[in-house]
């Protein structure tokens, strides 16, 4: 029998299920791995479900772009929270999660062999989507604090480049890109005739007075900016699979073709719940984020004990820290030992494209304060113990 090959052989396998299996095989492990929040949707979201069930027509397919009340609520939110005006130059498309929005964008703007620029460390599903589309991710390293390097981005652009991707607040580093750097990248994209894909899933997760900026609000940005949003983090909506994208109007037809082929329409029951969530508004998440914010200084205090063993860059957003561990061990081997020997799970940096050196991503948004603090303590003790034995 001949061996069949496909484009999927070039796509990395996500490590989250592998880490999950290690956790299941080591009961009592505290997970600082997957990037989810500790809370669920607001009651107002659940209260919308009877309205969905009351109309038999809701069990049929609905509009590809999303149900009109939700699209209107998103437009109001974008204007209030992101300073993005929705008009004849752009369109909202509701998606089955922000990852689907990214896939829609990649397929709409590329042909096989085209290039999309990612910042390293990158979000692994972005890199996977680009490869799935038979395109090439071009990796541009961020600086020592994981901030953008616009000059390096400009130098990486070729005739095959179709977009530059930024994620702010960032997964996996937790950094927030300043408005000036995002403006510079957005200007580069406009001047070079390519798209700026801005992933803003963590838009509300900022600390220490740091502000989030939406590139789609910059003057003259509508024609080349694709903005991606998600309810998964802010509203505890991970399994409901609702996100949305703001795209230039000229991309609406190709995006609708893609979405109609893959999902037809986002899950309608989830769209009703999303409408309830957005009508509550961002104050719901901000109250919850206060609890996450209270974990940050405690985690940082514990991590200070790793000075000399690890480097931790400043991070004022999302709910991640990215540790550079000064060791000869590989990141996956270290993560595996932390689970098996110290009952704490983190994500190895290799899944985010950090293949030179040993990096670990810590996620602290999914746990109550006491559990998160205990998990960080186990991590600190585990790294100290493993590295001491290495000497």
Output the 3-class SS for 294-339: HHHHHHHHHHHHHECCEEECCCCECCEEEEEECCCCCHHHHHHHHH
Interatomic CA distance for residues 45 and 35, integer angstroms:
22
Q: What is the pLDDT of residue 233?
A: 95
On the question of a cis peptide bond just before residue 317, with omega within 30 degrees of 0, the verdict is no
With cut-offs at 50, 70 and 90, classify the pLDDT of residue 155: very high
**Beta strand 225-230 pairing with 243-248:** antiparallel
With cut-offs at 50, 70 and 90, classify the pLDDT of residue 361: very high
Query: In the numeric block, which tokens belong to residue 317?
Result: 């957003």
Residue 5 has pLDDT above 70, yes or no: no
The percentage of residues in the chain with a pLDDT greater than 70, rounded to a whole number, is: 98
State phi, psi for 79 to the nearest 5 degrees.
-70, -45
Tell me the per-residue pLDDT of 187-246, one tens digit each, with 9 for 90 and over: 999 999 999 999 999 999 999 999 999 999 999 999 999 999 999 999 999 999 999 999
Q: What is the pLDDT of residue 1?
A: 47
Interatomic CA distance for residues 296 and 267, integer angstroms:
35
3-class DSSP assignment, residue 178: coil
Interatomic CA distance for residues 28 and 49, integer angstroms:
36
With cut-offs at 50, 70 and 90, classify the pLDDT of residue 128: very high
Helices and strands (H, E) in the chain, number of each type:
13, 13
State phi, psi for 115 to the nearest 5 degrees.
-120, 145
Residue 2 has pLDDT above 80, yes or no: no
With cut-offs at 50, 70 and 90, classify the pLDDT of residue 165: very high
Domain 48-280 has CATH 3.40.640.10: yes
Q: Which residue has the tokens 């095959």?
A: 160
- Report the first-to-last Cα separation within the chain, whole angstroms: 50
Query: In the numeric block, which tokens belong to residue 58?
Result: 């809701």
With cut-offs at 50, 70 and 90, classify the pLDDT of residue 17: confident
Query: In the numeric block, which tokens belong to residue 312?
Result: 């931790």
Tell me the per-residue pLDDT of 37-62, one tens digit each, with 9 for 90 and over: 999 999 999 999 999 999 999 999 99
Average pLDDT, the chain: 95
Give me the count of residues in the chain. Answer: 391
Q: What is the pLDDT of residue 389?
A: 85
Q: Name the β-bridge partners of 317.
A: 206
Tell me the per-residue pLDDT of 175-186, one tens digit each, with 9 for 90 and over: 999 999 999 999
Tell me the per-residue pLDDT of 63-77, one tens digit each, with 9 for 90 and over: 999 999 999 999 999
From the list 284, 381, 389, the residue with the least C-alpha distance to 342 is: 381
Q: What is the pLDDT of residue 314?
A: 85
Q: What is the pLDDT of residue 13?
A: 83
Torsion (CA) 209, 214, 219, 225 in degrees, nearest 10: 160
Q: How would you label 149-182 residue by residue, b for 16+ Cβ within 10 Å and e otherwise?
A: bbeebbebbeeebbbbbbbbbbbbbbbbbebebb
Q: Could you tell me which CATH number the domain at 7-41+283-384 has?
A: 3.90.1150.10
Question: Can you give the pTM of this predicted structure?
Answer: 0.95
Give the residue extent of every domain in the chain.
7-41+283-384, 48-280
Q: What is the pLDDT of residue 4?
A: 58
Q: What is the DSSP string of 93-131?
A: EEESSHHHHHHHHHHHH--TT-EEEEEES--HHHHHHHH
Read off the DSSP letter of residue 25.
Answer: T
Tell me the per-residue pLDDT of 65-123, one tens digit each, with 9 for 90 and over: 999 999 999 999 999 999 999 999 999 999 999 999 999 999 999 999 999 999 999 99
Tell me the per-residue pLDDT of 320-338, one tens digit each, with 9 for 90 and over: 999 999 999 999 999 999 9
**Alpha carbon 342 to its chain's center:** 28
């Amino acid at each position: 029998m001949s061996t069949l090959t496909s484009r999927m052989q070039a796509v990395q396998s996500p490590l989250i299920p592998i880490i999950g299996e290690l956790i299941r095989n080591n009961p009592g492990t505290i997970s600082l791995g997957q990037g989810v929040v500790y809370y669920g949707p607001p009651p107002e979201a659940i209260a919308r479900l009877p309205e969905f069930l009351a109309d038999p027509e809701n069990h049929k397919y609905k509009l590809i772009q999303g149900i009109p009340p939700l699209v209107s609520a998103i437009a109001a939110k974008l204007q209030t929270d992101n300073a993005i005006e929705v008009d004849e130059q752009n369109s909202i498309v509701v998606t089955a999660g922000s990852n689907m929005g990214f896939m829609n964008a990649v397929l709409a703007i590329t042909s096989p062999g085209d290039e999309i620029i990612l910042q390293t460390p990158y979000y692994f599903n972005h890199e996977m989507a680009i490869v799935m589309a038979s395109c090439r991710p071009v990796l541009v390293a961020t600086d020592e604090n994981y901030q953008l390097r616009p000059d390096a981005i400009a130098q990486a652009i070729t005739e095959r480049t179709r977009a530059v991707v930024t994620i702010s607040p960032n997964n996996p580093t937790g950094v927030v890109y300043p408005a000036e750097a995002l403006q510079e990248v957005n200007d580069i994209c406009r001047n070079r005739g390519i798209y700026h894909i801005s992933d803003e899933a963590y838009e509300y997760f900022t600390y220490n007075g740091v502000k989030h900026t939406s590139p789609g609000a910059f003057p003259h940005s509508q024609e080349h900016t694709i903005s991606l949003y998600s309810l998964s983090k802010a509203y505890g909506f991970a399994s409901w699979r609702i996100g949305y994208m703001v795209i230039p109007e000229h991309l609406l037809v190709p995006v609708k073709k893609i979405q109609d082929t893959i999902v037809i329409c986002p899950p309608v029951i989830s769209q009703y719940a999303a409408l309830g969530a957005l009508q509550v508004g961002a104050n719901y998440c901000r109250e919850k984020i206060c609890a996450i914010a209270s974990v940050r200084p405690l985690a940082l205090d514990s991590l200070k004990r790793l000075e000399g063993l690890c480097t931790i860059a400043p991070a004022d957003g999302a709910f991640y820290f990215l540790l550079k561990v000064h060791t000869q061990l590989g990141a996956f081997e270290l993560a595996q030992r932390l689970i098996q020997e110290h009952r704490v799970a983190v994500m190895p940096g290799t899944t985010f494209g950090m293949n030179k050196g040993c990096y670990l991503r810590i996620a602290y948004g999914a746990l109550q304060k006491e559990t998160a603090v205990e998990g960080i303590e186990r991590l600190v003790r585990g790294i100290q113990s493993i590295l001491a034995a290495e000497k």
